[in-house]
Chain A
Amino acid sequence: MEKSQWPYENRAGCVTRLQADVLVLGGGVAGCMAAAQAARRGQSVILVEKGAAKRSGAGGSGCDHWESAATNPCSTVSPEALLKAMMDDNDGYNNAISHYIECREGWDALLDIERMGGKIRDTEDEFKGAAFRDEKTKLMFAYDYKSRVTLRIWGATFKPAMAAACRKLGVRVFDRVMATTLLTEGGRQGGRCVGAAGFHTRTGEFFVFSAKAVIMAMSRPARVWLFSSGHPGLCEFRPLQCAGDGHAMGWRAGAEFNMMEKSVQAEFSAAGRSFPPYSTGNNHNTWYAASLIDAAGRKIPYADRDGRLLKTVEERYLPAPGQDFFLKGGAVTQAKYEFEGPETLPYEELKKQGYRLAFYADLSDLPELERKVIWGMMVGQEGKTQVPVYQNFTEAGFDPRRHVLQCYGTGWQSAQFLPKERQLFGLPGGFMNDWDLMTNLPGLFVAGDALFASDCYGHAAATGSYAGRKAAAYARKNQRLPLCEEQIEAEKRRVYAPLSADPREGVSWKELNEAIAKAMQNYCGEQKRDELLLSGVELLERYEREVIPKAFAANPHELTRLLEVFDILTVAQVILQACLSRRQSCEKLEFYRPDGDGAEPAPFICLRQEGGRVLRRQVPLDYAGDVKENYEKHNRDYIEEKEAAL
């Protein structure tokens, strides 16, 4: 290794060993909630975070809406009805267990965050009298003002409060440590999970953690199809940190994955095709229901699901006659008729009627409080909006009463991508779970965006708390097992190898990432065919065989990025295997197979490795069973706890 002016101490090769009852991997929303919950239940907890827990993760800088809080005191929808809508809207290709937990316990998690110091109510009466505010509880709602399941919240206050609460509860937080492998009983693929290892992203120090239960909360993969070497930090919607390390670690350890064949045409990122999220209008969530005008300043009509034109702004926030509630939010692109909410007319219709591009988001004609809640609260509290959008635009003179913001595309979009530019977005694949949010590996629990068909802050927080509770119970019942020293040594060798590679021959993380992304666009684009997919498998195997052993990193920071890309390569291979396993097109998975066999689409297809071989099985879409009954069976203690607290 060469000498350099790296400002941090070089501790490569030094090993620190630590023990906890519960080990949480990933200090984002789910990880912090899990760690706090396990600590409250008397367990010793270690939280490992690649960045810094205070603001790490997709929700670190904020969030403006909290979905599916069906048990909040103002909701008119039961958790069962809401879950059923989420399942029906996706033809069953959704995670009934985790989303039922979200619907049923999301409100509990939000109250927990309020106790930690997050702001969830309009305590200053800034929005007194607004149609979206409940005067008694001071809660504020979004989108569907009748059903009141989605709340407007001050999410920029959440993450620091959660991280501080963890520390107060005695959680030992290890910031700047990248987890790189799960440790299993006897080092066996498929064995009980007994810990994890990783290294410090500044000093290179190696860490080995032993635990009775482990919670995987490291988000989901990215940069599989999208990459920009000029702006790698901008090429995906979620943070650069969240690259799919957890999925790759799980795959290597033998964990089972579901729905990994699903990907969607990219919609969100910010490099090249896209603009900063929420800076150009986006009425799925933050900007709902701002007005839209065309290039001539003409107002574009909103209509309900039956095409009935809506005359007032108020009506945009109400279900259609005879409809109980509508779905709107992060995971809903085009809801089915039954759950469809008000929307601006589709572009084809607008074109016929003579409306002209470009379109602009217009807040000037909204009632004062509706304008103020979008520009100032939603844009402001939403992730990545406080500084780059609200503060910077305001300083540059943007005035929502006078100015209108351009939308890019034929509707509300902030970008237009090609079909082969894909993303794991909108309920993508991930870890398969049971009713304890445990994986097939005993002792390995999973929460948040790492779960299959996951999305959203409330889902991450609720499943995080739940996994924390379940992992604590598991740790109480099960003994600590010894770690496998061979597995640790092998991982140490793998992690450090790029620091000693030859910089003249070695490929950098950027070069490798770009090559993987291009391969995936070419061989695993919108249309899936066996020949293409198999060519992709062959190429990625070659990268694994020939490029990885030579890849070079100059310091622990570059090593972090490089190991992420190794993980992206693994995830890309899993995705190809999953695509090869699905033989028919399946609309809800946005999976198209021109060479399909014409049969009915298969239900869930789950994949895992055993002894290095890929094993597949089909799982019925309704494997969760009756959700209310099963939830109550698995959570008697929690229900009793809550009743006792009342």
Chain B
Amino acid sequence: MSEFLFRQTPPAEPIQFDGEKCTNCGRCLEVCMIDVMLPGEKHPIAAYPDECWYCGCCVMECPEGAIRLRHPLMNQTRWVEKASLLKKEKE
């Protein structure tokens, strides 16, 4: 088990950086209209994640593909195979 930490529990973590790919160029941070991020040592920090509007502009702006946007779990739309509905119906 790792050390206990004290932290503010986040309601969601909308953006994640890939530390390997990120060059810390700051373009994502500069394009975000909400100013969700603050400058960080290795990559920007999502300082105000709860304010994220989930527009995806930071991802669209990143030249390295180093940032991911993920909707909170409750917001993950469900989809199914159409064939599975038809199959269930037959059974």
A contact set with B: CB distance below 8 Å: 7, 50-52, 54-57, 60-61, 156, 176, 201-202, 229-234, 239-241, 270, 272, 274-276, 279-280, 293, 295-297, 360, 362, 364, 383-384, 386-388, 391-393, 398, 402-406, 414, 557, 560-561
Contacts and interface: CB of A to CB of B under 8 A. Distances in A.
B11 A51 contact: no
A393 B70 CA distance: 11
A56 B51 CA distance: 15
Nearest to A159: B57
B83 to A, nearest CB: 7
Interface string B50-91: 111111110111000000011110110111111101101100
Given A275-B75, A388-B71, A402 B34 contact: no
B74 A56 contact: no
B48 A61 contact: no
B7 to A, nearest CB: 15
A230 B8 CA distance: 12
Contacts of B33: 50-52, 55-57, 60, 239, 241
Given A233-B52, A276-B75, A404 B60 contact: no
B84 to A, nearest CB: 9
A176 B77 contact: no
A176 B51 contact: no
B82 A297 contact: yes
B74 A61 contact: no
A406 B79 CA distance: 6
B85 A295 contact: yes
Contacts of B83: 402
14 contacts: A50-B33, A61-B55, A61-B56, A230-B11, A230-B50, A234-B54, A274-B75, A279-B77, A297-B86, A360-B85, A387-B55, A403-B81, A403-B82, A406-B80
A61 B77 contact: no
A55 B89 contact: no
Given A272-B74, A403-B79, A405-B79, A233 B85 contact: no
B63 to A, nearest CB: 14
Nearest to B74: A272
A233 B34 contact: yes
Contacts of A7: 38-39
B12 interface: yes
Given A54-B31, A388-B56, 14 more contacts: A51-B35, A52-B31, A57-B33, A60-B57, A233-B34, A296-B88, A387-B56, A388-B71, A391-B59, A404-B80, A405-B77, A406-B78, A557-B47, A557-B48
A52 B50 contact: no
Q: Which of B47, B55, B71, B72 has the most CB of A within 10 A?
A: B55
**7 closest cross-chain pairs (CB), A and B:** A51-B33, A387-B56, A230-B11, A297-B85, A297-B86, A55-B57, A56-B33
B59 A387 contact: yes
B35 A231 contact: no
Contacts of B69: 387-388, 392
Q: Which of B12, B32, B79 has the most CB of A within 10 A?
A: B79
Contacts of A52: 30-33
Nearest to B45: A7
Contacts of B85: 293, 295-297, 360, 404
Contacts of B52: 233-234
A557 B54 contact: no
A324 B90 CA distance: 44
A270 B79 contact: no
Given A276-B77, A402-B83, A61 B34 contact: no
Contacts of B30: 52
A309 B88 CA distance: 27
Given A276-B75, A279-B77, A387-B69, A55 B51 contact: no
Nearest to B88: A296
A361 B12 CA distance: 27
A404 B79 CA distance: 6
Contacts of A280: 77
Contacts of A398: 79
A232 B51 CA distance: 5
B55 to A, nearest CB: 4
Contacts of B51: 232-233, 240, 561
A233 B53 CA distance: 5
Contacts of A201: 35
A299 B4 CA distance: 54
